[in-house]
Structure formats: C-alpha cells, structure tokens
Amino acid sequence: MKRITLWFLLLEKRLFKKPLFLAVLLLIPLMVLSLRSMATKETGILSIYLYEEPAEDPTLSESHDLIFLPLLEAGGLLHFEITEDKEAALEAVAKAEADALWVLPADLTAQLARYLQGRGKAPITIYSREETVYLTLAREKMYGLLHELLAQEAAIQQMSLVRDFRKVDKTELRLLYYDLLESNRIPNNLVRVTHLDDADFIGVREGRNYLAGPLRGILALLILLTGFAVTLFFLQDKEAGILDWMPISHKNVFPLLFLLTGVGDAAIVSYAALYVSGAFTTAATELPLMILYIFCVCGFCLLLSRLLPNIWFFGATIPVWLLACLILTPIFIDVSGFPLIQYLLPPYYYLNALHNPLMGQRMLLYAVVVCAAGVCLGRLPRRQ
Amino acid sequence: MMKLRWQYLKTQIHRMLMRFPVLFLVTILLLGAICGLAWAQFTAGKDEEDFQSLARQKVSVAVVGDTSESYLGIGIYAVEHMDSSRFSVNFIDCTEEEARAMLEAEEVEAYLLIPEGFLDAVTTAENKPVTLVIGGNQGGIGVELVRELADMVSRVLTSSQTAIYTLVDVEANYGRNAYDSKDVTQINLRYFDVILSREEMYQKETVESVRTLSRIEYYACAGVVLFLLLWGLNGTLLLTKRDFSLPKLIRTRGVGAVSQVTAELFAYSLVLLLCLALCVGGLLFGLSKAGVSFSLPGPSESAPSFLLGLFPLVFSMAALQYFLCQLSDNPIVTLLVTLLVSLVLGYLSGCFYFLSYFPKEVQELQVYLPTGMQVNLLQSAFLEKDAAFCIKGLTGYTFLFWLCSVLIRGYRLKK
C-alpha cells in the first residue's frame, strides 16, 4: 500500500510539473463560470418582436399590459422584444435577424369580443418568413395569456344571451363580473414538474437555461478526454521502456493507478466547477456519482488500451469516441435508438444516473466490468 | 541550405503520409458517424414535418391515467390531432411503469401523471395537479418545450375555471343557478370551440425574405467545422514534440524555427486537405450514384472550385491546431487544450446550437472568432455572398498562429 501511494504521488508530481496542465485544469472552472454568465443573458431559441397597433383612444394599451409584459417576464425558451417601429421590425424579420413580428391591437379586449361574436377580422397579425414548430409553440404561449381574456369575454357574452339577463344593463353586468373575478381567481398550479427519481421534489433542479444545460456533459467529456490523454502518456512510456523495471505482479494494476492520477485531478477540478456552475445537486448525489465515473473512465480507457495497444491506433480513435459522446449521450441533444453504442460510453451512464437510480446501478456494473476486463486482459500472454 | 529545407519539408510530408491510412480510417469513421445520424434523420421522415420531428422538434409525452373515463381522452386527442399541436406534441397512452421505462430509455421527453378523478376535481375547483415527470438529462430544449406547453395547458384550464366560477357567482347574484340552467355546460362547450379554433385568431403574413440558410444547410456548414475541429485531436499525436534533438540539430545547419514550422504546418495542412477532399469527393460520388440531386455552393457549382474555396478554412484550422500543439511537449496537455478550445470555439461559433439561440454579445463575437469565420465562409458559399471579410480574417489568423508557433519553436530551440 505504501509503495502504491508513493507511485501515485510520484505520478502526480510528474503531471504537476507541467504548468500548462495546471493552467488547463484552472481553465475548466473559468469556462464553466463564463457559460453560466452567458446563460443569464437575455436569449431564446426564437426572437419575436411585439408591436401594439395604436387604437383610436390613445390611452388604451391593453396588449402591452396584458400580453407583452407577462411574456417578457415569463422568460424561458423564447425571447421577446417590444418595438415601436413596425417597419424596422419587419425588415429585421426579412433579414432573418428576428423570427417573427406579432402585431396586436391596443384595444385588445374589444377586438377579442368582436372575434368571439364572429365579427371583424382576426385580431392578431403574425409576420414571419416561414412556419416552424417553435413559432407554433410561441403562439401557444401567447394563447395561454389570450385565453384568460377570451374566457372572460365569452362568459360575459354567454350571460348576455340568456333571457333572464336581457333586461340587465350590459355595463352593469360586465362591471359585476370583473368585481367578482378576483375573488374567484384560481392560481396557475395545475401542472407540477418533478424529476424521475424524486417525486417529492417540485421545480427545476438543473439550470433552466438551455445554454448552461450542456455544462455537466462537457465536464464529463473533459474527464474522459483526460483519461484518453493519460492512456496515451502511459502507452508512450511503455513503448519507451520506462516501465520495464516494474515487477510483473504489479504490471497489470499499475496502468489503472497511472490513469487514476490524471483522471482524478480532472475529476476534482470538474467537481469544483460543477459546484459553482449552479447545476450541482447535493454532495450525497454528486460525490458517489463522480467517484463511480472516475472508475468508469479509467476502466474504459484501460480496456481500450488493451484492445488497441498501438499508440497510433489508440490515439486515432479518440475523435471517433468523442464524436460518439457528443452525439449519442445527452450533452447537447437526446438521441435514442443506438443503445449498443450508447451503453459503451461512460458519459451516457454519468449523465443519466443523476436522476435515474437504475442507471446508477448499471454504472456500477459497468465500472466493475470494464476495470476487471482491463486488468484481466493485461494478464493474457502476448504473442511475440 | 535550401536543399536541406526541401529535404525537411519532404520528410515532414512523408511522416504525415505514413500515418495517413490510420488518419483516413478515422476520417471515414467520423464521417460515417455524422452521415449515419443524418441518414437516420432523413430517411425516417417522409416530409419536412417528419424530418423536424426526428430532429427532436416534435416532443413525445407519455400520458398515465384513465383517459377513457371522462372528457380527458377527448381533450388529449384534441390537443394531439387538432391544428397546430400535432406538429409539436405526440402523446402516448400507457401505464406508469411503461411511461417510466420509456422515460428511462429516453423514448419520451416526459410523462404526465393524471390523478384519479382529475376532471371531477377540476369541475369542483379542488384542483388535483397533474404531475409532469421529466427525466434526468440536461435541461435540453425538448424538456423546456414540454415545460412551456405544460404551463400553457395549466394556464388555459385555470383561467377557464376562474371565468366559469365568476359566471356562476354573477348569475347567483341575479338569483339564477348556472348549473341547473346548463349555462356551465354551454360555456364549457364554447371554450372547447374557442380552444380548438385558436389558430383562426391569427392573420398570418409571410414576409418576403432575403435568401437565408435552411436548417440542413446550416448544420452542414457547422458539421464541416465541427468535423475539422474534432479531427484536430489526431493532430496532437502528429504534432506534439517531446524530443527536440532533431530540430535543434537541423537548426545548426541553417533550418531555423521559421522553416521548421512552415514545413510542418504545410505537411499537416496537406493531410487535412487530402482527408477533406477525399471525404467530399466520396460523398459527392456516392450522392450522384444514389441519384440524389444536389448542387454545390459557389458560382461554378463544381467540386474543384468548391474545394479551392475551402483552402482558407483548411489552412486556418491547421494553423490553429498546430499552434495549440506547440504550447506543450506533453500530449496530455495538448489533447486537453485542443479539446477545450475546440469545444468552446465550436460552441460559441454555433456548431452545436443555432447561433440565433445565443445572446447578442456572443453573436457579435462569433463573427471575429476563427471558427466563426470558418462557419461564415461556408455559409457565404451557400448564400452566394461576398466572403472577403472571412477570407481576410482567416488569412490573418493563419499568419498569427504561424507567427506564434514560430516564436514558441524559436524559444524551444534556444532552451
């Protein structure tokens, strides 16, 4: 044990003698903080201009108050911007600088009332270059707000049609309706969001912004790449005969120790980066997961180096593995349908295991299998 | 001395070409992975809508709860099949175990857990919330879409409830029972009607636009740059020098840092260009054999002129990767630096997400990034736009990276 610790420390010393290695490790939290700050800026997958068509009564500004402001406050995937220059906004849409322009009337309630009665044209005008799924979603979001007005107006109109109310003054009926509206208001609480593993948790644990979403995946990828790089280093040392002095009994476990140094360092820095990123959950969840991930990465790299002992072949496959991770693990996109390849990739387990206990068990099994296979394959006699 | 320089250049080209079979194999694997994914996206969808659904734009949501008992099934059917929603949501009716399994297998973005007696509770204002269970993945766009839709549905239902209970109160004020008089049923039906015909509220106008890139064109450009960035990880093995005895020796014979760097960079660019040319050529040949109609970007629409147009892109990328590999003599460090830089530059240049998804500051910065210019150079070929700024910028970057590499090599040779 003493000898192993000594080797471990010597290997660490060798790595830390490279100032650029330390600089790269320090760059990781910096990158995370930059991404986090970027995610707090105003952004969206769609950019929509909102314009209020002036009404005859210049004091009216219903669309601005009832629709535009709630849309701006809601945040989320869509980016809204109020404009007072319709022509400039139209030009921006034409130049693809914005995705759509919504034109709503200032006397929105009156226009919606006319629409419900089947009179007049469609109250809202939408300018866009093409119809996309995201624009449809954006309209649904606006409809969520419009429906409140429509529902109220439809209820008032419904009462006006009833024979019992024909003699009642319409303004009086409307005023009474709005008086009683507040006392009947039901909060928007019909849907609660929870995670797969934690039915008691309601809300959003991860950073909501999709720009910060890939942070955890990028960190996982960096740890994996450190594993690849350390393996290359090891293969280089092996080729140069630096490890020839080692007793045969230690030769099979030593590569794992070698891998643990660099991967461990990257994992510690990534853990710290995760802690400041805002995507950190709890230490009780994150720490075991990270430790397990270290072994998954070390085992995977060790096994791969046993199967591809030629340094050039091993190194040449690195971009392929990284591309596979970028596409087939949920870092940027979720792609399903390639389970055989996905189950080979350590980040796939790490990213899914956070909220999925079953995947955590699979991750443990994976770590055991790849580490054992890596060590056992080293025992096989090589053809001379 | 000139002869020695030529000799060094030839040696470098020879060294790179020695590794070419392995590099080319990797290139094919990389390209195969990208094409396989793109092929899966294209062939599975018969039309643009299907293609978009496969591009993870259509969201699949499992629904758990007895939907046959009440109006709920009708409601879900309506949301799924009527007008706009059918383009964005796909509901799957199943048990909770099945939904959980599907979510774990990432076959659905989320599942909705509808409590027993949900509609009865809604009608009596004792709202039993529907639970939207999302998976454990990153806060991707799919999950965000589900959240937005869930919020909209909740808003529509609660505002309908508010309006109905106010109607009941108003009628009660005038001594009329809204339930007995079927006014509540009437207004519910009216709401159904309003919701289902909601698209009629909008007058849609198509704006005549300047030529913009389609999604496929955009990702084709971003994909080429991402491919080259990842390919650069191969470069770390080719270019990271641990032993400087030969460079130091030939320096004494007059082949200094400038000649060494120029020869190595040229040889590396050549291999990169060769890999790219073979890939592009192979792809074009395959497409033409398969009878797929396509037109190459650029004025002449010919493969040689297209490849010629890629020169600034390839040389600037090679220079960037070469420079990164000069930063250290340790392959661990160069690999990490190359990946870190590739991921950050690729991310900020719109290789993973559309550039329009980023804040304005990033969009403005992208124009000046080397990878941003590379993406823009390719895009300008599709848009038949003037690419002078990108070409000048990339030439400048190539020179800058070359100069920095020369300075580092000079320092190393003197050490």
pLDDT (0 to 100) of residue B48 = 44
**Contact A316/B at CB under 8 A:** yes
Whether residue A6 is found in the same domain as residue A91: no
Residue A128 lies in a domain: yes
Q: What is the mean pLDDT of residues A87-95?
A: 90
- Chain B residues inside the 8 Å CB shell of A155: 163-164, 166-167, 187
pLDDT (0 to 100) of residue B286 = 66
**Contact A275/B at CB under 8 A:** no
Torsion of CA B403, B405, B411, B412, to 10 degrees: -160
A-interface mutation test, from B52, B138, B203, B238, most A Cβ less than 10 A away: B138
The per-residue pLDDT for range A199-218, each reduced to its tens digit, is 444 444 444 566 777 888 88
| A36 or B406, which is more confident | B406
pLDDT (0 to 100) of residue B38 = 63
pLDDT averaged per 10 residues, chain B (length 415): 83 85 79 67 46 50 67 58 56 82 75 78 72 66 72 84 88 81 84 85 86 75 84 80 82 87 91 82 67 57 70 91 88 81 88 82 90 89 81 94 94 85
pLDDT (0 to 100) of residue A126 = 94
Residue A337 to residues A90, A196, A341, B106, B379: CA-CA distances in angstroms?
Answer: 42, 21, 9, 9, 31
Between A61-70, A374-383, B325-334, B379-388, the lowest mean confidence (pLDDT) is in A374-383
Q: Which chain A residue has its CA at the smallest distance from B49's CA?
A: A133
Tell me if B159 and A353 make a contact (CB, 8 A cut-off). no
The per-residue pLDDT for range A102-113, each reduced to its tens digit, is 999 998 888 998
Tell me if B30 and A323 make a contact (CB, 8 A cut-off). yes
The per-residue pLDDT for range A117-140, each reduced to its tens digit, is 888 788 999 999 888 778 888 888
- Chain B residues inside the 8 Å CB shell of A353: 136
Q: How far is A302 from chain B (nearest CA, A)?
A: 16
pLDDT (0 to 100) of residue A304 = 93
Residue A176 lies in a domain: no
Q: What structural domains and CATH numbers belong to chain B?
A: 2-44+213-414 (no CATH), 57-199 (3.40.190.10)
**Does residue A292 carry a pLDDT above 90?**
yes
Whether residue A108 is found in the same domain as residue A231: no
**Residue B245: is it exposed, middle or buried by C-beta count within 10 angstroms (0-12/13-18/19+)?**
exposed
Q: Which two tokens stand for residue B65?
A: 């709860």
Whether residue A219 is found in the same domain as residue A104: no
Q: Beta strand B202-206 with A124-128: parallel, antiparallel or unpaired?
A: parallel
**Contact B19/A at CB under 8 A:** yes
Q: Which chain A residue has its CA at the smallest distance from B226's CA?
A: A323
pLDDT (0 to 100) of residue B402 = 95
Chain B residues 66-95 with CB within 8 Å of chain A: 84-85, 87-88
Beta carbons of B174 and A168 less than 8 angstroms apart: yes
Whether residue A245 is found in the same domain as residue A306: yes
**Contact A262/B at CB under 8 A:** yes
How many helices (DSSP H) and strands (DSSP E) are in chain B?
Answer: 17, 5
A-interface mutation test, from B339, B352, B353, B354, most A Cβ less than 10 A away: B339
Tell me if A99 and B194 make a contact (CB, 8 A cut-off). no
Tell me if A140 and B148 make a contact (CB, 8 A cut-off). yes
Q: What is the mean pLDDT of residues A41-46?
A: 76
Q: How far is A176 from chain B (nearest CA, A)?
A: 7
Residue A290 to residues A377, B205, B292: CA-CA distances in angstroms?
Answer: 25, 52, 47
Name the residue among B153, B187, B343 with its Cβ closest to that of A158: B187
Distance CA B288, CA B283 (A): 9
Beta carbons of B294 and B287 less than 8 angstroms apart: yes
Tell me if B336 and A136 make a contact (CB, 8 A cut-off). no
Residue A319 lies in a domain: yes
Residue A177 lies in a domain: no
Whether residue A98 is found in the same domain as residue A22: no
pLDDT (0 to 100) of residue A205 = 43
Q: What is the CATH number of the domain that holds A123?
A: 3.40.190
Whether residue A143 is found in the same domain as residue A10: no
pLDDT (0 to 100) of residue B367 = 92
- Domain ranges, residue A114: 46-147
Residue that has been written with the tokens 């299907």 in this structure:
B50
Name the residue among B56, B103, B340 with its Cβ closest to that of A333: B56
**Contact A108/B at CB under 8 A:** no
**Contact B356/A at CB under 8 A:** yes
Whether residue A356 is found in the same domain as residue A225: yes
Residue A171 lies in a domain: no
Residue where one domain finishes, among candidates A101, A122, A147: A147
Other C-beta atoms within 10 Å of B257: how many? 19
Residue A169 lies in a domain: no
Whether residue A215 is found in the same domain as residue A364: yes
**Contact A146/B at CB under 8 A:** yes
Residue where one domain finishes, among candidates A124, A147, A170: A147
Nearest residue to B398 via CA among B259, B261, B271: B261
Whether residue A308 is found in the same domain as residue A263: yes
Chain pair A-B, CB pairs under 8 angstroms: 393
Beta carbons of A138 and A78 less than 8 angstroms apart: yes
Q: Beta strand B130-134 with A191-195: parallel, antiparallel or unpaired?
A: parallel
Nearest residue to A302 via CA among A350, A254, A250: A254
What's the pTM? 0.74
Whether residue A35 is found in the same domain as residue A65: no
Mean pLDDT of chain A: 83
Residue A165 lies in a domain: no
Chain B residues 244-263 with CB within 8 Å of chain A: none
Q: Which chain B residue has its CA at the smallest distance from A173's CA?
A: B170
Chain A residues 220-259 with CB within 8 Å of chain B: 221-222, 225-226, 228-230, 232-233, 236
- Chain A residues inside the 8 Å CB shell of B149: 137, 140
- Chain B residues inside the 8 Å CB shell of A132: 52
Q: For residue A248, what pLDDT band results from cuts at 50, 70 and 90?
A: low
Beta carbons of A305 and A187 less than 8 angstroms apart: no
Tell me if B159 and A147 make a contact (CB, 8 A cut-off). yes
Residue where one domain finishes, among candidates A147, A165, A191: A147
B-interface mutation test, from A90, A184, A206, most B Cβ less than 10 A away: A184
The per-residue pLDDT for range A309-343, each reduced to its tens digit, is 888 788 888 888 888 888 888 887 666 667 888 89
Whether residue A121 is found in the same domain as residue A221: no
**Contact B207/A at CB under 8 A:** yes
pLDDT (0 to 100) of residue B66 = 62
**Contact B159/A at CB under 8 A:** yes
Chain A residues 336-375 with CB within 8 Å of chain B: 336-337, 339, 351-356, 358-359
Q: How far is A244 from chain B (nearest CA, A)?
A: 20
pLDDT (0 to 100) of residue A381 = 59
A-interface mutation test, from B336, B358, B361, B385, most A Cβ less than 10 A away: B336
Name the residue among A123, A236, A318 with its Cβ closest to that of B233: A318
Residue A179 lies in a domain: no
Q: How far is B235 from chain A (nearest CA, A)?
A: 9
Whether residue A360 is found in the same domain as residue A213: yes
Task: Indicate the number of domains in chain A.
Answer: 2
